[in-house]
Copies of this chain bind each other. A is one copy, B any other.
Amino acid sequence: MQKNEIKIIEEISLDNPIFIEALPGIGHVGKLAADHLIDELKAVKFAEIYSPSFPPQVFIGEGGIIENMYNELYYLKSQGEDERDFIILVGNTQSLSPEGQYSLCGDILDFIESFGVKELFTLGGLATGQPVEDTKVFGAATDTEKIKILEEIGVEIRSSDGGIVGASGLFLGLGQLRGMSGICLMGQTPGYFIDAQAAEAILIKLSKLLKIEVSTDELEKRAEETKSMISKAQQMEQEMISHQMTPQDGDDLRYIG
């Protein structure tokens, strides 16, 4: 495999869909929120993505069945108050190399642009390194209009403060260059593994932004299930990612998508 591969499972057509990215990052926050969204709203997988920039390995999953490194795309039609269509990107890894990140992000943007995507949401955790009592949701965006919308629903704007490393940053950045507008939501998390509380916090804000209704009743349970279901290797990988993306210096707040 020399190139990124987007394997189409179902040929679909969508009407001006909104794109949501939630690949593995700090505290599993974005991934957990998106996986929950997919289950609750019964989103349908329509494409699988493989890349030579993913880690060269497989996970051993339930019952000893191996699991490739992958990203995948789900869709939803006519959701919520505005009857909008959605594309959701999830997976069990991100690209390892900078060039791999740019290449894959570019290829996925090409692909989703062909469905008419003009608006992006990226989800992630923001590690504090300390216990969080009242989970805040932080935000950044491609333009001031989006920032206003975030302020209206009580998302704390991070001004001149930090960066967004990885897919959650790059989708907004490269999307902006294509004329897309976008928002990044970051749930405050101590950085411990699988933070259902932070995932719930960003899901609540995301629901308001997307004008959809998503029950979060099962989220805590799902977090527990996820924890016991996913392989030790995935947990180790997750810890590695968190570790790698958490700055060692004195900065106490830091976001990685």
Contacts and interface: CB of A to CB of B under 8 A. Distances in A.
B64 A166 contact: no
B50 A177 contact: yes
Given A1-B174, A56-B166, A159 B98 contact: no
B64 A157 contact: yes
B231 A163 contact: yes
Interface residues of A, number: 72
Interface stretch (A22-30, A71-79, A139-147, A194-202): A139-147
A100 B103 CA distance: 14
A170 B64 contact: no
A128 interface: no
Give the copy number: 4
Contact of A58 (B62, B66, B159, B169): B169
A66 B169 CA distance: 8
Contacts of A66: 140-142, 164, 169, 172-173, 176, 184
Interface in A80-100: 95-100
Contacts of A161: 60, 231-233
A189 interface: no
B98 A52 contact: yes
Contacts of A10: none
A246 interface: no
Interface of A: 1-2, 7, 50-69, 95-103, 105-106, 139-144, 147, 150, 157-166, 169-170, 172-174, 176-177, 184, 229-234, 236-237, 247, 249, 251, 255
Q: Which 6 A-B pairs have the closest CB atoms?
A: A163-B233, A56-B101, A52-B102, A64-B157, A1-B106, A58-B169
